[in-house]
Amino acid sequence: MPPPSPTRRTVLAAGALPLLAACSPAATLNALAPADTHRLDADLAYGPDPRQRFDLYRPRDDAADAPLALFFYGGSWNRGERADYRFVGEALAASGVMVAVADYRLFPQVRYPGFVEDGAAALAWLRREHPARRLFVMGHSAGAYIAAMLALDARWLAPHGLAPDLLAGWIGLAGPYDFVPIRNPEVQPVFHHPAVPADSQPIVHAARSRLPALLGAPVSDALVDPERNTVGLSRALQRAGAAVVLRRYERASHTTLVAAFARPLRWIAPVLDDTLAFVDGARA
């Protein structure tokens, strides 16, 4: 069968938008993620709250020195379930990367910085349990924000006796890194609008970072401005001396960028290949 025509591919990509925006966003994509490509340790607790849990996807032939990535999903810090992102865990675990897909507390249960504190607690748990592995944080959209704050701002890991330099690198996909003033009414209360803390913005902390980073974004994104956020942070990190890989994806939207981890949608953007290349290149 010939590959889909550009028109057909456009239709398929558009169809992924409502799929990922529904209550069970990735049911179809998860159904197409083979279970025999990985081993799953489900519902591991990194804290006492029911939202402080993650699922750990292990490569089928898990080497002791395989890299380990902690993944945070998006949802405007208002919604999200780790079960909806099995396709991300499967894609990376099938390629030799152990992945923890984490839940975290959401608004209105917490406001900033509660979800960043959860990310730090999850990262500390993984460091304790897997001290020999090269460790990465990564995320999409609001999850990329959490990854960025853990990588760039030492305040969050310090209570655990850790620092960002424990990371081999970090990966942000379509992340908001410089978004004040906040226009989205759904996000405003999350960050105490109008009294949004200035140091809540990842770009404020870029000058102190030397961590390698992979920053990816669609060429056009109606939800998170890629020029201000992804390109802007890339430039700030490069000025600080950090090694940054910047990727812009022509066919991807804000939502289909993460959907492109799934097998049937990988033609949208080579985000999986770029992630694997970055992880492989960020060796100590």
Q: What count of other Cβ atoms lies within 10 Å of the Cβ of residue 232?
A: 17
Sole residue written with tokens 């969050």: 156
* Angular region, 207: left φ>0, alpha ψ -120 to 50, beta rest: alpha
pTM over 0.85: yes
- Report pLDDT digits (tens) over 38-96: 999 999 999 999 999 999 999 998 778 899 999 999 999 999 999 999 999 999 999 99
Q: How high is the pLDDT of residue 32?
A: 64
- Segment (H or E) for 151: helix 142-152
Q: How high is the pLDDT of residue 15?
A: 42
pLDDT of 27 strictly over 80:
no
- Report pLDDT digits (tens) over 248-257: 999 999 999 9
Taken as a whole, the chain contains a residue count of 284
Dist. CA 153–CA 161, nearest whole Å: 14
Residue boundaries of the structural domains of the chain: 6-281
- Report pLDDT digits (tens) over 214-225: 999 999 999 999
Q: What are phi and psi of 171, to 5 degrees?
A: -130, 125
pLDDT of 4 strictly over 60:
no
SS3 60: coil
Q: Which tokens sit at 110?
A: 């917490």
DSSP class of 90: H
Q: What are phi and psi of 103, to 5 degrees?
A: -85, 160
- The CATH fold assigned to 6-281 is Rossmann fold (3.40.50)
Greatest Cα-to-Cα distance within the chain, rounded to the nearest angstrom: 57
SS3 98: strand
